[in-house]
Every structure is written in C-alpha cells, then in structure tokens.
Structure 1
Amino acid sequence: MALFSLIVVLLAERLRLVADAFQFEAWFGRYRRLMFDDQALRSPLRMAVALVLPALVVWLAQRLLTGVWFGVLHLALWIGVGLLLFAHGPLRQRFRQYLEAARRGDIQSCFNYADRLDESTAMQAASVEELGQRMGQLSAWLNYRYYAAVALYFVLLGPAMATFYCTVRAYCDHFAAQDCRRPLLGPLMKLLDWVPVRIVSLGFALSGHFSKAAPVLVPKVLDPFSDPRRMITEVALAAEEVPETAGEPLCVQPTLALLKLAKRNFILLLVVVSLLTIFGVIH
C-alpha cells in the first residue's frame, strides 16, 4: 500500500492534478488561522498541541478506516494525505520564475526569487557564479525537505508521521521567516531530520561521484550533532560535478546539475522501497 500510494501521489503531483486549495501551503495557512495565533504559541503546551493535532487526526482516521470496504477507504486516506503533503505548487512556481529570470539575464530578479525560495536565510552571494552554486545547494536542500524526507516518513512510518514532519517543518519555516523563536521547534526539527538526512546524503553519494562525496559524507554521518542543511548541501555539491552547459547562464548551471542529482537520488529511493516491498519489509 505504501509504495502504490507513493507512486500515485508522485504521478498526480508531477501532472499538476492537485488543485491549489488542496496543496500543503494553502492547508497550512488555513490551519494556522484556525489554531492559536503566533503570540499564543509562545506556550510550549499550545505549541505541542498545534504540532501534534494534524498527525493525531490522520492517525485516528487510519484506525477507523482499517478494513472498511475491503481497505478501499484506508487506501484513499493514504493517497489523499499524500497528495496534500507532496503538492507544492507555489514552491515549483518560484523555482520556475528564478530559472526564467536567469535565462533572460535579469540578475536582480534572480536574487529576489532566490530570497523568496528560502525566506529563512538571505541569499548572500557576491557574484553570479556564487549565486548559481548557492541555488544549486538550495535546490538539493529543498528537494530533501519537501520530497525525500517526507517520502521516507510516509513509506516507513505512515501518513500520520509524515503529516507530523510536515507540520513541524512548516512552523519552523514560518517562524524562521519572521526571525522569531518558539519552544520545541528547533530541537524537534533536528531530531526528525536526524535519520532521513543521513539516508538521503548516502543516496546522494551513491547517485553521484561516491569517491568524491565519501570524504565529506563520513565525518558528518558519524558526528551526531551535524547540521542537517550543511550535510545535505555539502555532500550534494561534492557528489555532483557541474558541467559547462551550452546556452545556460552561470547562475543556472549548478541548479540544474544538482536537481538532476536529486532526481537520481529519488529514483534510487523508489527502487530501494520497491525491493523492501517485494521482500515484505514494507507493507
């Protein structure tokens, strides 16, 4: 069920079949307005309730729908939650705007779109080449946070845990963009990223130049306090050479190269999940 649901969800997301109102950013915006306001979330208890509630609802729905109509409703729940968690139209649109601005030579717009892609960290680049490298690293990081890590939680621990990860990530990004601190978020996000970031980093090494990535990967994997973002971006950059691409601006070439690496890594993840499903490890 996990593999089938993931494939259906990724296909629907790729074909852009998910309406804007049913995408994660829209859902999270409505959820924040219905729950506690930002000031109320200074309380650890309220913060915990806001983080856990969506996952709890999904978990209860899973329990209630198990076995109903020969499992059809249970499968529908998996697919419905997956469509919600993996649909990120606004993120894809911002990436497209960055690429279009680069190809028409509008460097100032490139910097503006780059800042919009990652509101938690200003895109500080001194040159077009440096902007391209940082955008390449950012593409690897966003691919991990919005797709690879979510897929791992979705397949291995189910839609409720994937919902919990996405909720924590969304609140982290929301308050980071406002330069605000709230209880629980930082330590909890690092804890949730601890295992997936190591699996995905290993995938980057296996999908790219392993001999170049291994010296970067091994010390970071063995360090229990490694920063997840630095691990992903540095291993990805070491694993993939940035070739000279005819007709592409300098600020686009690293982005395209690391996006290709991320796609190969995701395919590797799907192959491993398929094998685990065949051998009965994942149901």
Structure 2
Amino acid sequence: MMLMSLLLVLSLERLITKTPHWHIEKYASQYREFLFGKKWLEDDSSASTLYTLLLAPAIALAAVEYWLLGAFFTFVEQSIVLFICIGCPALRATYKCFLNAAERNDLQACSMYTDQLGHCGSINESDGSATAEGKSFGQHLTWLNYQHYAAVMLWFIGFGAPGALFYCLSRSTTEALCSANHPLKASAGRLMFALDYLPVRITALGMLMMGHFSRALPEWVNYALRFDVSAYDVLTEISSKAEMLTPEELAEQAENAAVEPKVLVKLAKRNVIFLLVITSALTLVGSLA
C-alpha cells in the first residue's frame, strides 16, 4: 500500500499544480494560530510542551487509522495526506524564476532568488548558529528538495501518514519560529536535528550511490556518526562531492549560473528513484506493507 501511495502521489505531484489548499503549510499555519490563540503554546512554554503539541495530530491520525478506517480507506487517507505533505509549489516557482534569470545572465536576480529560498531553518541545531552562508543556490535547493521530498518519503515509509504529518508540522513550525526569532526556536531546532539525523544520512547514501561513489563515500563515512554537524551541512557537503561539475560545466557555470542547480536537481531526482527502488525491494520481501 505504501509503495502504491508513493507512486500515485509522486505522479500526481508532477502533473498537477497545487493550490494552497493542497499543501501542508496552510494547515500547519492554521494549527499554530490555533495553539497560540488557545494559549496552549506561549513564549515561556517548555520544549516538552512544544514536542507534545506537534506530535498530537500524528497520534490522532494514527488512532483514526487504527480504530475507524479499514485497509482501503486507510490507503485513500494516506495518499491524500502524503499528497498534501510532499512537495513545495513556492520552491518550484522560485527555481523556475532562477533558471530564467540565469538564462538572461541576470546575476542580481539570481542572488535575489537565492535569498528568496529562505535559509532560516538551515541552522546548526546543536548551537543555533547559521550555516547557510557561502552555500550556492544549487546546494540550498538540494537541502530544500530533501526536506520537501526525500525526508517526507522516508518518514512516510517508516511511520505511514502520521509520520509524514509529524515531520512536516515540525519542519514548518521550526521555520516559522526561527523566522520570528521566537524563544522556542532553539527547542524546535533540536527536534529537527533529531528528526533529520537518520533520514539525511539515508538520503546522502542514496546520493553517493547515484553519483560519484568513491569520491563521496569518505565524506559520508566522516559524517555518519557525528552529532556536532547539522543535517544541512551533511547533505550539502556530500551532494557536492557526489555530483561535482566537470571542467566543461565549470567553464559554462561562469556564464550561466543555472548549470550547478540543474546538475544537483538531476541528482536529487535520481535519489528519489533510488528510494522508490529500495521501497519496492522491501515491499517484495515483505518488510513493508
């Protein structure tokens, strides 16, 4: 069922332009407004309160699946939740605008679109320090592609629709608290560090399998068991090793800023296919339902 949901949703996501009603950000924002309106979440709330409130919708959804829905309706519900959680229309629109600016060789517009991606959530969750400086548009895009596709897929594969919902609510809330410089942003950052720790390494492993294995493997081994490096740095460093530009591409990059993002996007797409192949294999051997 999970494999069927993934294939169905990824196909629809490529074919259909989502409206805000079909994206998690709308509902995550409404949920945060509800929590602050009821004063269940305030500036002086504890980290445990934040974590509990973020986990509550996933627990409620799991309870509905277990006690109320049969196999078929669970499949429908999980597919709908996954469709809402996966992807990012705003990210795709920004990417297209960047490509158009790069084709015009408008470097100022390229820089503006790089800033427009939003880097507030790209922090070192262990100490709250920013780590986005010096990263290229392609590297930022790789990270956001992971957050909106690969990570959602992995949480869905591991825990079904409740897992995908919990991850997306946590990701959206962390970004919102960080942008608002809220007192709870450090607690939210630590939660995301934990939620991303294993998925980002699985994703990076897929990238080195789909890219330059021997060049990226030492980097992956170096980061595999480290707890002092942000998920953002792990993914961007390994992806840059797994898909380095050729001398010809480097020369072209000097005239067309879209070369590197296109190369890294292709790597990210191959990685999604890799995850689907692994999911298929696990389904065939009976490890996944």
TM-score normalised by the chain length of structure 1: 0.88
Q: How far does residue 223 in structure 1 lie from its aligned partner after superposition?
A: 2.0
Residue 137 of structure 2 aligns to which amino acid in structure 1?
Answer: M
Shift of 1:181: 3.7
CA distance in 2, matches of 1:117, 1:29: 18
Alpha-carbon shift at residue 52 of structure 1 (Å): 1.7
In the other structure, the counterpart of 1:237 is: 240
* Structure 1 residue 197 displacement after superposition: 1.1
What is the match of residue 271 of structure 1? Answer: 277
Deviates more, 1:79-88 or 1:230-239: 79-88
Give 1:128's aligned residue: none
- Name which of 51, 56, 59 aligns with 1:48: 51
Cα deviation for residue 48 of structure 1 reads 3.0
Q: Deviations over 1:166-209 (max 9, x none)?
A: 11111111122233341631221111111111111111111111
Q: d(CA) in 2 for partners of 1:212 and 1:55?
A: 39
SS at match of 1:224: coil
Q: Provide the residue aligned with 1:255 in structure 2.
A: 261
Aligned to 2:31: 31
Matched, 1:98 2:90: no
State the one-letter code of the partner of 1:217.
W
> Identity, % of aligned pairs?
33
Q: How far apart are the structure 1 equivalents of 2:17 and 2:67?
A: 28
SS of residue matched to 1:222: coil
Take 2:227 and 2:49, find their aligned partners in 1: how far apart are those partners?
29
Aligned 8 A contact 2:197 2:231 in 1 = yes
Q: C-alpha offsets along residues 220-256 of structure 1, whole Å, 9 cap, x if unaligned?
A: 1132333211110000000102244598743211111
Q: Deviations over 1:89-113 (max 9, x none)?
A: 1221122122222222222222121
Q: CA deviation at 1:124?
A: 4.8
AA partner of residue 275 (structure 1): A
Displacement, 1:46?
4.3
The 1:80/1:41 distance shift into structure 2, 3 A limit, reads farther
Aligned to 2:127: none
- Pair 1:73–1:260, CA change in 2 (3 A): same
Q: Where in structure 2 are the equivalents of 1:67-216 lying within 5 Å? A: 67=70, 71-120=71-120, 124=133, 134-182=136-184, 184-216=187-219
Assess, with a 3 A threshold, how the Cα gap between structure 1 residues 94 and 17 changes in structure 2: closer, same or farther: closer
Which of 48, 61, 64 lines up with 1:61 in the alignment?
A: 64
Q: Deviations over 1:125-175 (max 9, x none)?
A: 5xxxxxxx6111112111111110110110121110111111111111112
What are the ranges of 5 or more consecutive residues in structure 2 without an aligned counterpart? 123-129
In structure 2, C-alpha distance between the alignment counterparts of 1:41 and 1:58, rounded to whole Å: 27
Aligned-pair distance for 1:17? 5.1
CA distance change for structure 1 residues 77 and 223 in 2, over 3 Å: closer, same or farther? same
- What is the alpha-carbon distance in structure 2 between the residues aligned to residue 218 and residue 189 of structure 1? 22
- C-alpha deviation, 1:42, in angstroms: 3.5
Asked if 2 retains the 8 angstrom alpha-carbon contact of 1:65 and 1:73, the reply is: no
**Residues 137 and 233 of structure 1 are in contact (CA less than 8 Å); yes or no, is this contact kept in structure 2?**
yes
Residue-by-residue CA offset, 1:63-115 (whole Å, 9 max, x unaligned): 23342xxx221111111100110142122112212222222222222212111
1:36–1:50 Cα contact (<8 Å) kept: no
CA distance in 2, matches of 1:32, 1:102: 37
After superposition, the Cα gap between the structure-2 partners of 1:263 and 1:114, relative to the gap in structure 1 and judged at 3 Å, is same
How much does 1:32 deviate? 2.2
Residue correspondences, number: 273
Q: Which amino acid aligns with 2:280?
A: S
Q: Go from structure 1 to structure 2 and tell me whether the alpha carbon gap of 1:54 and 1:7 turns closer, same or farther (over 3 Å shift).
A: same
User: Partner amino acid for 2:60?
Assistant: V
Supply the distance in 2 between the matched residues of 1:206 and 1:156 (Cα, whole angstroms).
21
Give the TM-score normalised by structure 2.
0.87
Tell me the secondary structure at the aligned position of residue 94 of structure 1.
Answer: helix
Say if 1:86 and 1:278 are closer, same or farther in 2 by CA, change over 3 A. same
